[in-house]
Amino acid sequence: MLMDLILDRKAVVGVIGLGYVGLPLAVEMAEAGYRVYGIDINEEKVQSLVDGHSYIIDVESDKIAKMISSGKFHPTTDFSVIAQCDAVSICVPTPLRKTKDPDVTYITSAVAEIKKYMHKGMLITLESTTYPGTTEELIQHEIEELGYVIGEDFYVCFSPERVDPGNPVYNTQNTPKVIGGITPVCTELGCRLYGQFLERVVPVSSTKVAEMVKLLENTFRSVNIGLVNELALMCDRMGINVWEVIDAAATKPFGFMPFYPGPGIGGHCIPLDPMYLSWKAKMFNFYNKFIELASDINGNMPRYAISKLMDALNMQSKSLRGSKILILGMAYKKDIDDVRESPALDLYALISEKGADVDYHDPFVPTFRNGNEVIKSVELTSQNVGEYDCVVLATNHSVFDYKMISEKAKLILDTRNGFKQYHENIVKLGAPLETGAIMKAYQEILAGKYQ
């Protein structure tokens, strides 16, 4: 009986997809005492784990080595181990196609493998972010075709991943986990299993509710980022410093949550997940406005940043064409090494297209691909920073020496409000060009002049 196996921790569990979601999940399950098969199609990843090395920022290698030697964790590329599994969690990517519709081929491939080794009594939980209805369409109905009866012969849940790579406070173990099943018994089994190794499980009544929870979480971010990005454009036009406005609004202790403008949005979640919802809603003849509008505004920010750069150079009677530009930061957000969908990639391509000579410096990103080219991060020194006509701060890594850069650079376009001190040579996204007087007053307030 699956419930007994779960409660006695004798259940054998499989995790398909050993990335930033699947590997930490496998670790929690193995540490709770379950025998875990970690399945991935990438042989290098599997071999690395077999050798006791972790490639995920939040998972220590010695933990992997211990789990391997204790016999609790078995990384493999062989899907046939699913025949031995009482429960399987699917943690594969769900990218968007260029046409902005969901690419669920990783999910369908994983389900095709499960079908080969399916047996009675198995619990299947999908964790990949996707549109409402996916779990029923791509898992429940597929397995039912084999003659199994949902809620009796097999169980299916959806549980959205809430992993924030590199987050020093929240991790897989202590982040509440929403779980919704196709039937009540599915929900109960899913909650019982995850409840054995996670601090808190949040049951919901169906897989669709659970799928929608995740999309609301990330659409909430995308729309609010879009709001402040539009506010930045407005403030620029109106001669107001948007950063000061947001900092002051953020002093409101209730009913407000600060979001910040930027050169666009990146990552594997926020630019993509809301488009899943928008795509599915259209099938119900529901044409949403917020998601598409936010996506449009956020997607346009790189071009706004370029126009700001040209305005800034224009102040010094320089054209972008022929100028030397340094982009600081290529990662999609600060203090990480991930460049997926990073707006800095767009900035690099747009600045190149305009005929400028562009370099980048990012201590977390030694190289990146620009089309067929491999671009290398250049060194940043107090000598060379002054050689550039403009330094563009695209990602506000904590490690940058902001004081040195502001003293040595001829001109700075700050798209992240990374430079807190006032300097004549700093132009900010979302603030008027002539920032001198405005920023000087702002700096005096920050320095406590009126307190």
> With respect to ligand SAJ, which residue has the nearer C-beta, 75 or 274?
274
C-alpha dist (Å) from residue 252 to 222, 229, 241, 246, 249: 22, 20, 18, 10, 6
Using CB under 6 A as the binding rule, the residues of this chain from 302 to 341 that contact ligand SAJ are 332-333
Q: Are 228 and 259 in contact (CB under 8 A)?
A: yes
- Give just the sign of the alpha carbon dihedral 394, 396, 402, 406: positive
In angstroms, rounded to a whole number, what is the distance separating the alpha carbons of residues 98 and 221?
22
Two structure tokens written together for 176: 């509440």
Nearer to ligand SAJ, 146 or 399 (CB): 399
Would you count residue 243 as binding ligand SAJ (CB under 6 A)?
no
Answer for which of 163, 246, 411, 429 binds ligand SAJ (CB under 6 A) is 163
- 356 binding ligand SAJ? (CB under 6 A): no
Any contact of residue 161 with ligand SAJ (CB under 6 A)?
yes
Residue 39 near residue 84 (C-beta atoms within 8 A): no
Task: In angstroms, give the least distance from the CB of 212 to ligand SAJ.
Answer: 14
* Shortest Å distance, C-beta 349 to ligand SAJ: 16
User: Which residue among the candidates 157, 186, 235, 269 is catalytic per the annotation?
Assistant: 269
Site string for ligand SAJ, 36-75 (x = CB under 6 A): ----------------------------------------
Q: 114 or 429: whose CB is closer to ligand SAJ?
A: 429
Q: Which of 92, 150, 225, 320 binds ligand SAJ (CB under 6 A)?
A: 225
Binding mask 117-156 for ligand SAJ (x = CB under 6 A): ----------------------------------------
Note the maximum CA span of the chain: 77
Q: Which of 131, 194, 243, 260 binds ligand SAJ (CB under 6 A)?
A: 260
**Residues 27/66, Cβ–Cβ less than 8 Å:** no
Q: What is the closest distance, in whole angstroms, from the C-beta atom of residue 30 to ligand SAJ in the complex?
A: 22
Does residue 359 touch ligand SAJ according to CB under 6 A? no
Q: Does the annotation count 269 as an active-site position?
A: yes
Please identify, using beta-carbon distances, which residue of 183 and 224 lies nearer to ligand SAJ.
224
Q: Which amino acid is at 88?
A: V
Residue 414 in the binding site for ligand SAJ (CB under 6 A): no
Taking contact as CB under 6 A, which single stretch among the options 36-44, 161-169, 202-210, 421-429 is the one that binds ligand SAJ? Answer: 161-169
Nearer to ligand SAJ (CB atom), residue 75 or residue 343: 343
Binding segment toward ligand SAJ, per CB under 6 A, in 61-69, 141-149, 150-158, 256-264: 256-264
Q: Is 269 in the site for ligand SAJ (CB under 6 A)?
A: yes
Pairing, β 367-370 against β 373-376? antiparallel
Q: What whole-number distance in Å separates Cα of residue 65 and Cα of residue 54?
A: 9
> Does residue 24 touch ligand SAJ according to CB under 6 A?
no
Cα 44 from Cα 305, distance rounded (Å):
39
Give the range of 45-53, 102-110, 204-212, 267-275 binding ligand SAJ by CB under 6 A.
Answer: 267-275
Which one of 25, 26, 223, 270 is in contact with ligand SAJ (CB under 6 A)? 270
Could you say whether residue 201 binds ligand SAJ (CB under 6 A)? no
Which residues within the stretch 68-97 sit at the binding site for ligand SAJ (CB under 6 A)?
Answer: none
Q: How far, in Å, are 130, 379, 410 from residue 176 at the CA level?
A: 19, 42, 48
Enumerate residues 204-223 that contact ligand SAJ by CB under 6 A: 217-218, 221
Question: Which position's Cβ is nearest ligand SAJ?
Answer: 267
Residue number with CB closer to ligand SAJ (269 or 305): 269
**Site size for ligand SAJ (CB under 6 A):** 18
Which sequence positions are flagged as catalytic?
Answer: 269
Residues lying near ligand SAJ in the complex (CB under 6 A) are found at 161-164, 217-218, 221, 225, 259-260, 262, 265-267, 269-270, 332-333
